[in-house]
A and B are shown apart, each in its own frame.
Chain A
């Protein structure tokens, strides 16, 4: 990192920080037309991320995690996809803005890291060339030599050994972890204030995953950027995110601080996620309780709460409420910074007496 541009960006970041969240998503709805009718992939999604903070988005495949973040990057085809609501990035409205405006923001103010680095990097071009291109697009006055120096600097920054030699390698000459690093370098080359990491470590080994997560955290501290991590690994969320958003069938079902959501979850879907993963340190008496059934088709969502066909706690809700009425996102009883979408009257009690003894017998005493 050159010290001069970085200190500049830091001071401007501080100014932005006082104005509130850097990214605000309000009532975002994304609908795609298909042969079988319109599919609402994301509906009524609202969240915000401040600079220097990390939001974790969890959910199964098809729950709308990636679709919502691609909407922020303006990557949906505006001719077919219907997007409503509002997305503000650093004060600028994304929805409805022109392609040239988007192009100036994309890769500059906001950047994205994709899951499959081998597919996201072009196999015919050298790593250095691809990094330089990303830099030159947004720095039209910079020379080719500046861009190359910047590319080497970024590769060094993300921990690639001998960056001045590896810069001329092709993507296939890099290992999986190094490719992911190269993609992070490409994402960060223009000091973006918003970084979206879509399953950044899913294809990697645990040791490499730990390296990449360390790197993301160091870089976030250095650039003070807002980060969104999309993952299905609750362990990654627990260690990285400040806030968590749990998505199911295109909707937010639980949203709050990481500590709240993972220690006092109030939505049966989140319970299901927590109970279906074994833990490396949990007692071996803890049982693996899967969520029965499969995620619903977005074309044909069940009436009422989308989760009700798979929910084990429906009998505790009076009447037929779960089948007939979609619960609204309400503030949880435990904390004002915790929202959940569920009809259960006292979910905290159900979690403590029914769910926790099964999934973590050793934790029951502590929470009493």
Chain B
């Protein structure tokens, strides 16, 4: 991919096609085993004995460079008044200043309740929406500012898997047309090579390649989701945004699709932004997880930290609400943190910390000052004035030194404000240690 999208757009279509066809074959040739290796993926998922089939959770590579860097991304939807002149009377702050990185070949999980902005984030990154502010740097291009024409060559590299396999496939098109559409749009391979490539892709996702001329209604839910995945893979994307890819499927089929996605990640080195509300699936698939609430990231970190030692009261409540199969051995309900009420409206979010209206630790400072997303470990950031492990939340705000305010949230005149280093997308070498209240390093 050339660095300047304009330059790319001016290249003769045939030339683009030739390059892409080459890269397409490269990926398929890159398989560890042989030319038939991509067939292996499908077969493994479909029908092999138990022992070879399971996949352990994906591991984290801390040294991987970022493929996508999102910085202070914002999406405000206008609220229009009724009547003839539809004036803008408010804004839904669906995504309000989030920053994160997706490592190359890695996966970042995005979890949160419905309405927290996680799907909007996915749609912003695939540029189905144009963001209100912020930047999304993908391989040197800021996707946020590109026009549709400039975006087109980049769309190959950023693909999306949708939630509902029943509504995301056109019922009047055959599977071959659905999967092959992108090949024709981007003129990647000559017309007579489209079908062989489609059949290859169908085999990669574990479908019978002979079924390319069938219609979506002839497939079950799990198979349809595989078609959706094959369509996303057509362009050999570098980043896949998976928006609730398994939540519409039966339990036994969910595992098949999750394993398929893991295989794809291992074979093709694709980075994933994995959006889901099922915390257990996200834990299995993503070595890094960001927890969102009302358009903001509350806590982000590696899997072990987020699930074993969450520091944000919201993450703790979310985790304690998940029903656990192991509870059967004990009987009865698990002790849980009860969150009262519903998520507030994003049109008029609470001042200061957005979670404070449902937080049991909320104090005066929470209403006055918004807590910064503070790095408190090598790969752990949290946005809370009273961040601490469950049952060990501090009595005084931990963020006062960073923000230059007193314990009640009123600014101290002349105090240093270290806000600049806080909202960077990646992780710093040094972080703010909660115990010593000092900046420390590894």
B36 within 8 Å of A (CB atoms): no
Q: What is the CA–CA distance of A240 and B323 in the complex, to the nearest angstrom? A: 9
User: Is the pair B255, A277 in contact by a Cβ cutoff of 8 Å?
Assistant: yes
B185 within 8 Å of A (CB atoms): no
User: Is the pair B328, A262 in contact by a Cβ cutoff of 8 Å?
Assistant: yes
Within 8 A of B (CB), among A217-244: 217, 232-240
What B residues does A278 contact at CB under 8 A?
57, 258, 280-281, 283-284
Q: What is the CA–CA distance of A175 and B277 in the complex, to the nearest angstrom? A: 17
User: Is the pair A205, B114 in contact by a Cβ cutoff of 8 Å?
Assistant: yes
What B residues does A279 contact at CB under 8 A?
280, 324-326
What B residues does A235 contact at CB under 8 A?
322-325, 327
User: Is the pair A262, B329 in contact by a Cβ cutoff of 8 Å?
Assistant: yes
Partner of B250, one of A211, A232, A312: A232
Nearest neighbor of B116 in chain A, beta-carbon distance: A205
What A residues does B255 contact at CB under 8 A?
275-277, 288-291
Q: What is the CA–CA distance of A235 and B339 in the complex, to the nearest angstrom? A: 19
What A residues does B223 contact at CB under 8 A?
294
The contact string, 1 if C-beta is below 8 Å from chain A, for chain B 295-323, is 00000000100010000000001111111
User: Is the pair A263, B280 in contact by a Cβ cutoff of 8 Å?
Assistant: no
User: Is the pair B322, A276 in contact by a Cβ cutoff of 8 Å?
Assistant: no
Q: What is the CA–CA distance of A284 and B281 in the complex, to the nearest angstrom? A: 11
User: Is the pair B281, A281 in contact by a Cβ cutoff of 8 Å?
Assistant: no
The contact string, 1 if C-beta is below 8 Å from chain B, for chain A 255-274, is 00011011100000000111
Q: What is the CA–CA distance of A237 and B251 in the complex, to the nearest angstrom? A: 14
**Number of residue pairs A-B, CB distance < 8 angstroms:** 168
User: Is the pair A206, B338 in contact by a Cβ cutoff of 8 Å?
Assistant: no
What A residues does B322 contact at CB under 8 A?
206, 235, 280
User: Is the pair B324, A239 in contact by a Cβ cutoff of 8 Å?
Assistant: yes
Within 8 A of A (CB), among B111-132: 113-114
A302 within 8 Å of B (CB atoms): no
Q: A211-B338, A235-B323 are in contact. Are A60 and B250 (CB under 8 A)?
A: yes
Q: How many Å from the CB of B63 to the closest CB on chain A?
A: 20
A31 within 8 Å of B (CB atoms): no
Q: What is the CA–CA distance of A312 and B259 in the complex, to the nearest angstrom? A: 18
User: Is the pair B53, A290 in contact by a Cβ cutoff of 8 Å?
Assistant: yes
What B residues does A175 contact at CB under 8 A?
342
User: Is the pair A292, B47 in contact by a Cβ cutoff of 8 Å?
Assistant: yes
User: Is the pair A238, B323 in contact by a Cβ cutoff of 8 Å?
Assistant: yes
User: Is the pair B325, A234 in contact by a Cβ cutoff of 8 Å?
Assistant: yes
What B residues does A275 contact at CB under 8 A?
54, 255
Q: A236-B323, A289-B54, A354-B50 are in contact. Are A259 and B329 (CB under 8 A)?
A: yes
5 A-B pairs with least C-beta separation: A287-B54, A235-B323, A290-B255, A276-B255, A262-B328
User: Is the pair B55, A288 in contact by a Cβ cutoff of 8 Å?
Assistant: yes
Q: How many Å from the CB of B77 to the closest CB on chain A?
A: 18
User: Is the pair B317, A239 in contact by a Cβ cutoff of 8 Å?
Assistant: no
Q: What is the CA–CA distance of A234 and B49 in the complex, to the nearest angstrom? A: 24
A178 within 8 Å of B (CB atoms): yes
Known: A209-B323, A217-B333. 7 other contacts (CB 8 A): A205-B277, A235-B323, A238-B323, A272-B252, A275-B255, A288-B284, A292-B256
Q: How many Å from the CB of A366 to the closest CB on chain B?
A: 9
B413 within 8 Å of A (CB atoms): no
Nearest neighbor of A235 in chain B, beta-carbon distance: B323
B145 within 8 Å of A (CB atoms): no
Within 8 A of A (CB), among B204-232: 220, 222-223
What B residues does A327 contact at CB under 8 A?
none
Q: A176-B114, A206-B318, A238-B325 are in contact. Are A280 and B250 (CB under 8 A)?
A: no
B46 within 8 Å of A (CB atoms): yes
What A residues does B338 contact at CB under 8 A?
210-211, 214
Contact sample, A vs B, 20 pairs, CB 8 Å cutoff: A205-B113, A206-B321, A208-B113, A210-B321, A210-B323, A210-B339, A211-B338, A233-B323, A235-B325, A238-B326, A263-B328, A277-B280, A280-B319, A284-B284, A290-B259, A292-B53, A294-B222, A294-B223, A294-B253, A358-B54
B332 within 8 Å of A (CB atoms): yes
What A residues does B324 contact at CB under 8 A?
235, 238-239, 279-281
Q: What is the CA–CA distance of A306 and B55 in the complex, to the nearest angstrom? A: 27
User: Is the pair A259, B50 in contact by a Cβ cutoff of 8 Å?
Assistant: no
Nearest neighbor of B303 in chain A, beta-carbon distance: A284
User: Is the pair A285, B56 in contact by a Cβ cutoff of 8 Å?
Assistant: yes
B331 within 8 Å of A (CB atoms): yes
User: Is the pair B328, A207 in contact by a Cβ cutoff of 8 Å?
Assistant: no
A293 within 8 Å of B (CB atoms): yes
What B residues does A213 contact at CB under 8 A?
323, 333
What A residues does B307 contact at CB under 8 A?
280-281
Q: What is the CA–CA distance of A357 and B256 in the complex, to the nearest angstrom? A: 20
Within 8 A of B (CB), among A181-212: 205-211
A161 within 8 Å of B (CB atoms): yes
A61 within 8 Å of B (CB atoms): yes
What B residues does A236 contact at CB under 8 A?
323
Q: What is the CA–CA distance of A154 and B323 in the complex, to the nearest angstrom? A: 27
User: Is the pair A358, B251 in contact by a Cβ cutoff of 8 Å?
Assistant: no
A295 within 8 Å of B (CB atoms): yes
What A residues does B49 contact at CB under 8 A?
312
A177 within 8 Å of B (CB atoms): yes
Q: What is the CA–CA distance of A258 and B318 in the complex, to the nearest angstrom? A: 25
A39 within 8 Å of B (CB atoms): no
A286 within 8 Å of B (CB atoms): yes
What A residues does B259 contact at CB under 8 A?
288, 290
Partner of A289, one of B53, B220, B222, B336: B53
What A residues does B26 contact at CB under 8 A?
none
What A residues does B280 contact at CB under 8 A?
277-280
What A residues does B258 contact at CB under 8 A?
278, 288
Q: What is the CA–CA distance of A97 and B333 in the complex, to the nearest angstrom? A: 38
The contact string, 1 if C-beta is below 8 Å from chain A, for chain B 44-76, is 011111110111110000000000000000000
Nearest neighbor of A201 in chain B, beta-carbon distance: B323
User: Is the pair B254, A277 in contact by a Cβ cutoff of 8 Å?
Assistant: yes
Q: What is the CA–CA distance of A70 and B321 in the complex, to the nearest angstrom? A: 30
Q: What is the CA–CA distance of A234 and B327 in the complex, to the nearest angstrom? A: 10
Q: A279-B280, A280-B280, A284-B57 are in contact. Are A291 and B329 (CB under 8 A)?
A: no
The contact string, 1 if C-beta is below 8 Å from chain A, for chain B 259-288, is 100000000000000000101110110000
